[in-house]
């Protein structure tokens, strides 16, 4: 596969594209199908590599997966779930972080699970200590092997009471996918409540689970003996929508994102408006545009939901290089999410990264040597460069920078973007971008 994109930048992106289901929900709903005794149907599924990776892993475990890519419909039949060979699972090592969520469902179905070494973006250490602590508390026996983790459930997993030290998305999902079929009641204090998690809870409820979400991040689950398949339409991908909105702003363009929905985007829309972007919420999508004149600098802090998402940060920072004055961005979810700024500097942006917690409250990364705050001074014209994609969201940000920059940029490692952005090259062309694979 050719992994290089030439981008002739400097032109506003204008037009209409469609965004389908959220990457960070679809993959989890696919894992949930393992818990059902009958087939599940998932709609609004985008054709991205993470879906292919999870389909491959489900297939190895005996789930019959059929994917109609055009219609975006996945049929998942778990009637014959079986243990997969370690060597086959190992072939998926390093491809994604989703395999860790197979633990609970496989322990319920088979009493054992092998999880390969995980992949995912290199945006920090990304440990799995919360996940393993949760599984142990349910009664699973966890053995770390040189190439992954071996788990056993000597008897039915038991409901438990857990407090998370930080509202981790993955750990909350781990708990949900394990507790729904454990014996008795499970209570989670300090849960993540991202919209993708609420949609996963909706799926599990359709399957027969009993889950209540109380105030103050408390989730309570009454375990049941049996779950059925589900039929569900995935919520829209709010990260992809924000990425295109940021591209409209950075290039001085006008992009309508069909399929985008307002409730999950509210925090982003507030910030977009403060920077000077315009938007119009329509029945079937949201239009984002740059109304001319100066963009405004802002002080921004990323946070767990309902705060400003960490995944929105990187694309928006590219637009902030075009805002007048000093913007301050404090990243509090991942300790290492400003690596992409090196390429922006190479293209003419003025961005300094700092170890201190700037522009907000102190976070858990302060005084710990992590460069997790950035100061962006603008506006600075961007010029073309030869750049390498560092991670999924950082990569899309590089792409936005190349589209905003005058001249012909070479963006390498573009395949990484296929993990989470469906047909992004076709969408760029539809928006009038001058791009070609090398």
What is the spatial distance between Cα 199 and Cα 209, in angstroms, rounded to a whole number? 13
Residue of 103, 121, 357, 363 with catalytic role? 121
Binder to ligand EPU among 14, 126, 296, 383 (CB under 6 A)?
Answer: 126
| Sign of the CA dihedral with 256 first, then 258, 259, and 263 last | positive
Q: CA dist 239 to 11, 99, 318, 374, Å?
A: 23, 21, 15, 21
| CA torsion, ordered 133, 137, 138, 144, to nearest 10 deg | 40
Indicate the DSSP class of residue 367: T
In angstroms, give the least distance from the CB of 201 to ligand EPU.
15
What is the spatial distance between Cα 141 and Cα 112, in angstroms, rounded to a whole number? 9
In angstroms, give the least distance from the CB of 194 to ligand EPU.
6
Complete DSSP assignment for 166-191 = S--HHHHHHHHHHHTTSBSEEEEES-
Number of other residues whose CB lies within 10 A of the CB of residue 315? 26
Query: Is 146 one of the binding residues for ligand EPU (CB under 6 A)?
Result: no
Query: Is 130 one of the binding residues for ligand EPU (CB under 6 A)?
Result: yes
Q: Hey, what are 171's tokens?
A: 């750990």
Contacts (CB under 6 A) with ligand EPU, residues 26-55: none
* SS3 at position 424: helix
Report the residue number, 204 or 382, with the smaller CB distance to ligand EPU: 204
In angstroms, give the least distance from the CB of 196 to ligand EPU.
7
Q: Hey, what are 22's tokens?
A: 């959220």
Binder to ligand EPU among 79, 129, 231, 282 (CB under 6 A)?
Answer: 129
Report the residue number, 124 or 325, with the smaller CB distance to ligand EPU: 124
Query: Is 301 one of the binding residues for ligand EPU (CB under 6 A)?
Result: no
Residue ranges of the annotated binding site are: 23-24, 97, 311, 333
Query: Is 124 one of the binding residues for ligand EPU (CB under 6 A)?
Result: yes
In angstroms, give the least distance from the CB of 206 to ligand EPU.
20
Query: Is 131 one of the binding residues for ligand EPU (CB under 6 A)?
Result: yes
Q: Hey, what are 79's tokens?
A: 């009637």
Cβ-based burial of 149 (10 A; exposed 0-12, middle 13-18, buried ≥19)? buried
Report the residue number, 245 or 333, with the smaller CB distance to ligand EPU: 333
Beta strands 141-145 and 148-152: pairing type?
Answer: antiparallel
Contacts (CB under 6 A) with ligand EPU, residues 148-207: 166, 168-171, 192, 194
What is the spatial distance between Cα 278 and Cα 255, in angstroms, rounded to a whole number? 11
What is the spatial distance between Cα 42 and Cα 29, in angstroms, rounded to a whole number? 8
Name the residue among 275, 267, 257 with its Cα closest to residue 379. Answer: 275
Which residue number has the CB closest to ligand EPU?
170
Structural contact between residues 162 and 187, judged by C-beta atoms closer than 8 angstroms:
yes
Stretch touching ligand EPU by CB under 6 A, among 59-67, 121-129, 261-269, 295-303: 121-129
Report the residue number, 241 or 322, with the smaller CB distance to ligand EPU: 241
Q: Hey, what are 286's tokens?
A: 């949201």
Q: What is the largest CA-CA distance in the chain?
A: 65
Query: Is 334 one of the binding residues for ligand EPU (CB under 6 A)?
Result: yes
103 is catalytic: no
Binder to ligand EPU among 127, 263, 292, 293 (CB under 6 A)?
Answer: 127
What is the spatial distance between Cα 298 and Cα 324, in angstroms, rounded to a whole number? 10
Query: Is 242 one of the binding residues for ligand EPU (CB under 6 A)?
Result: no
Report the residue number, 28 or 220, with the smaller CB distance to ligand EPU: 28
Q: How is the beta sheet containing 64-68 ordered, strand by strand?
A: 64-68, 73-77, 40-43, 231-233
Binder to ligand EPU among 77, 237, 254, 311 (CB under 6 A)?
Answer: 311
- What is the Cα gyration radius of the chain? 22
Query: Is 420 one of the binding residues for ligand EPU (CB under 6 A)?
Result: yes
In angstroms, give the least distance from the CB of 60 to ligand EPU.
19
Query: Is 99 one of the binding residues for ligand EPU (CB under 6 A)?
Result: no
Number of residues that bind ligand EPU (CB under 6 A): 28
In angstroms, give the least distance from the CB of 37 to ligand EPU.
26
Query: Is 302 one of the binding residues for ligand EPU (CB under 6 A)?
Result: no
- The stretches of 255-368 forming alpha helices (DSSP H) are 266-275, 310-320, 341-346
In angstroms, give the least distance from the CB of 99 to ligand EPU.
11
Report the residue number, 285 or 420, with the smaller CB distance to ligand EPU: 420
Report the residue number, 382 or 392, with the smaller CB distance to ligand EPU: 392
Query: Is 357 one of the binding residues for ligand EPU (CB under 6 A)?
Result: no
Query: Is 97 one of the binding residues for ligand EPU (CB under 6 A)?
Result: yes
Query: Which residues make up the interface to ligand EPU (CB under 6 A)?
Result: 23-24, 97, 121, 124-131, 166, 168-171, 192, 194, 239, 309-311, 333-334, 392-393, 420
| Catalytic residue IDs | 121
């Amino acid at each position: 596969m050719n992994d290089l994109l030439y981008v002739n930048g400097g032109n506003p992106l204008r037009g209409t594209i469609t965004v389908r289901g959220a990457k960070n929900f679809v993959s989890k709903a696919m894992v949930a199908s393992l818990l059902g005794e009958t087939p599940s149907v998932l709609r609004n599924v985008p054709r991205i590599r993470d879906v292919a990776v999870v389909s491959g892993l489900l297939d190895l475990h005996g789930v019959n997966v059929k994917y109609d890519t055009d219609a975006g419909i996945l049929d998942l039949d778990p009637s014959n779930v079986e243990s997969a060979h370690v060597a086959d699972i190992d072939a998926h090592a390093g491809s994604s972080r989703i395999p860790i969520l197979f633990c609970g469902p496989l322990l319920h179905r088979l009493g054992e699970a092998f999880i390969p070494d995980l992949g995912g973006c290199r945006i920090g250490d990304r440990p799995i200590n919360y996940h393993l602590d949760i599984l142990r508390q349910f009664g699973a026996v966890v053995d770390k092997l040189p190439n992954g983790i071996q788990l056993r459930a000597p008897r039915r997993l038991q409901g438990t009471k857990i407090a998370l030290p930080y509202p981790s998305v993955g750990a909350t999902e781990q708990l949900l996918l394990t507790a729904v079929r454990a014996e008795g009641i499970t209570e989670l204090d300090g849960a993540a409540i991202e919209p993708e998690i609420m949609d996963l809870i909706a799926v599990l409820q359709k399957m027969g689970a009993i889950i209540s979400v109380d105030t103050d991040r408390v989730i309570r689950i009454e375990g049941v003996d049996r779950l059925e398949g589900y039929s569900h339409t995935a919520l829209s991908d709010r990260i992809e929508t924000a990425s295109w909105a940021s591209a409209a702003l950075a290039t001085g363009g006008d992009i309508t994102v069909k399929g985008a929905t307002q409730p999950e985007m509210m925090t982003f829309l507030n910030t977009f408006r403060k920077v000077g972007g315009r938007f119009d919420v329509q029945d079937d999508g949201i239009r984002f545009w740059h109304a001319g004149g100066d963009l405004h600098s802002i002080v921004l802090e990323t946070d767990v939901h309902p705060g400003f998402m960490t995944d929105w940060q990187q694309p928006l920072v590219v637009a902030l290089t075009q805002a007048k004055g000093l913007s301050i961005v404090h990243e509090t979810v991942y300790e290492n999410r400003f690596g992409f700024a090196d390429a922006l500097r190479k293209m003419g942006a003025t961005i300094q990264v700092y170890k201190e917690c700037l522009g907000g409250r102190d976070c858990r990364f302060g005084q710990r040597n992590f460069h997790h705050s950035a100061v962006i001074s603008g506006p600075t014209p961007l010029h073309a460069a030869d750049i390498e994609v560092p991670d999924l969201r950082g990569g899309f940000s590089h792409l936005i920078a190349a589209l905003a920059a005058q001249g012909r940029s070479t963006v390498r490692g573009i395949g990484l973007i296929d993990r989470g952005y469906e047909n992004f090259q076709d969408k760029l062309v539809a928006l009038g971008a001058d791009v070609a694979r090398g």
